[in-house]
């Protein structure tokens, strides 16, 4: 009987011990604020405490309280190459691992550049042909002023599209000395012309093929321009003016009421030419230029293209009386020019340097004309080249 009672007691004790613990059965860990924790005097190494401020367990390491619960920032990620890592590893700012995307760039000269953001960039030309070039125009063809004479060496401007570093130029019957690819739409070729007049084809070839401009290079007898002084008998004077074959001078009566002009020499708008003269002073009012109808009036409004030499030593451009603004200073002795090319384009020059290009093309023959205001104003060395 005694053994039975002992056995029953052991079974009952085991059953009670195996039941889920109640709140009173749990081991309690002291709780304190961070300030209270740091104020504990002489804690033993290994002591545990619950921080009620951040809800984490802390253990005393012998020198400091160490948080035991992990936050997620214990993981250290190190990357190299083209991998980029952002974030701090917290729930609010998680790690983000991404790759740096490579780039493939097409350059203006037809080459390509590959970059992966890490290694040195790689530049290369395509090994597979791209676009066949297009030749659309040259400045040595019909309708241009830059036509070649025989055995002449100078540059030709070729325009079009899809020109690249592999482009070559050939002109039938001519020698191409060198080629410069200015851009994908322009080539400068240095050419020595042959000895036979005619219209010749220009071809541009690259890896993709060849394009030809039929008759794009014209070789013809050059038109020789002749320089002519205006004779005394050729200069018509109105108002108080004198002309001795060199100097055109106003002698009296200030105002826009006097002129010298000539209908003997004309510059054609299709073959070109230029008017030249020398400024005798820089403190007078006088306008010099070209007119289609020089005999109409002594007024400056009759001048199609003119330089207004002003008393402040400045040059103003005037066309049919309208001011186009001041373009340059000038001094006594400066050589002034109004040039007309074979396409009717008009430019103004001082000492052979262009100071203004007109937007109005010449279409009719142009003659020397002038309009004087100041007494004792003069110009000299007047020539017409055509």
Phi and psi torsions of 259, nearest 5°: -155, 165
Report the distance separating Cα 290 and Cα 278, nearest Å: 15
Q: What is the mean pLDDT of each run of 10 residues along the chain (386 residues)?
A: 53 50 69 91 90 89 82 60 70 75 80 80 69 92 79 92 94 97 94 94 94 93 86 97 98 97 94 95 98 92 98 98 97 97 92 94 97 98 97
> Can you give the chain as a three-state secondary structure string?
CHHHHHHHHHHHHHHHHCCCCCHHHCCCCCEECHHHHHCCCCCCCCCEEEECCCCEEEEECCCCEEECCCCCCCCCCCCCCCEEEECCCCCCCCCEEEECCCEEEECCCCCEEEECCCCCCEEECCCCCCCCCEEEEECCCCCCCCCECCCCEEEEEEEEECCCCCCEEEECCCEEEEEEEEECCEEEEEEECCCCCEEEEEEEEECCEEEEEEEEEEECCCCCCCEEECCCCCCEEECCEEECCCEEEECCCCCCCEEEECCCCEECCCCCEEEEEEECCCCCCEEEEEECCCCCCCCHHHCCEEEEECCCCEEEEEECCEEEEEEEECCCCCEEEEEECCCCCEEEEECCEEEEECCCCCCCCEEEEEEECCCCCEEEEEEEEC
Q: Which domains does the chain have, with CATH numbers?
A: 31-67 (no CATH), 134-219 (2.60.40.10), 227-385 (2.60.120.920)
pLDDT at 139: 87
pLDDT at 251: 98
pLDDT at 10: 53
pLDDT at 162: 94
């Amino acid at each position: 009987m005694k053994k039975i009672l002992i056995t029953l007691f052991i079974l009952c004790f085991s059953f009670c011990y195996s039941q889920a613990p109640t709140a009173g059965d749990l081991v309690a860990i002291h709780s304190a604020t961070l300030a209270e924790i740091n104020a504990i005097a002489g804690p033993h190494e290994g002591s545990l405490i619950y921080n009620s401020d951040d809800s984490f367990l802390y253990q005393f390491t012998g020198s400091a309280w160490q948080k035991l619960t992990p936050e997620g920032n214990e993981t250290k990620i190190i990357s190299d190459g083209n991998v980029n890592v952002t974030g701090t590893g917290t729930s609010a700012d998680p790690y983000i691992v991404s790759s740096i995307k490579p780039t493939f760039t097409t350059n203006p000269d037809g080459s390509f550049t590959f970059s992966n953001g890490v290694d040195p960039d790689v530049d290369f030309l395509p090994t597979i042909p791209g676009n066949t070039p297009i030749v659309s125009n040259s400045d040595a063809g019909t309708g241009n002023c830059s036509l070649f004479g025989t055995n002449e060496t100078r540059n030709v401007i070729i325009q079009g599209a899809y020109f690249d570093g592999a482009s070559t130029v050939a002109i039938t019957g001519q020698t191409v000395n060198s080629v410069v690819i200015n851009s994908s739409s322009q080539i400068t070729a240095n050419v020595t012309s042959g000895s036979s007049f005619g219209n010749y084809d220009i071809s541009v070839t690259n890896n993709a093929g060849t394009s030809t401009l039929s008759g794009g290079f014209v070789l013809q007898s050059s038109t020789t321009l002749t320089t002519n002084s205006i004779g005394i008998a050729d200069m018509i004077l109105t108002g108080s003016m004198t002309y001795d074959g060199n100097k055109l001078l106003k002698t009296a009566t200030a105002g826009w009421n006097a002129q010298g002009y000539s209908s003997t020499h004309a510059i054609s708008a299709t073959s070109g030419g230029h008017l030249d003269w020398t400024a005798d002073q820089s403190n007078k009012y006088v306008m010099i230029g070209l007119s289609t109808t020089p005999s109409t009036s002594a007024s400056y409004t009759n001048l199609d293209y003119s330089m207004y030499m002003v008393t402040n030593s400045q040059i103003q451009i005037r066309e049919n009386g309208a001011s186009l603004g001041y373009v340059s200073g000038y001094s006594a002795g400066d050589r002034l020019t109004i040039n007309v090319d074979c396409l009717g384009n008009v430019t103004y020059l001082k000492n052979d340097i262009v100071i203004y290009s007109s937007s109005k093309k010449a279409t009719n023959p142009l003659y020397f004309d002038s309009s004087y205001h100041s007494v004792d104003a003069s110009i000299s060395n007047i020539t017409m080249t055509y």
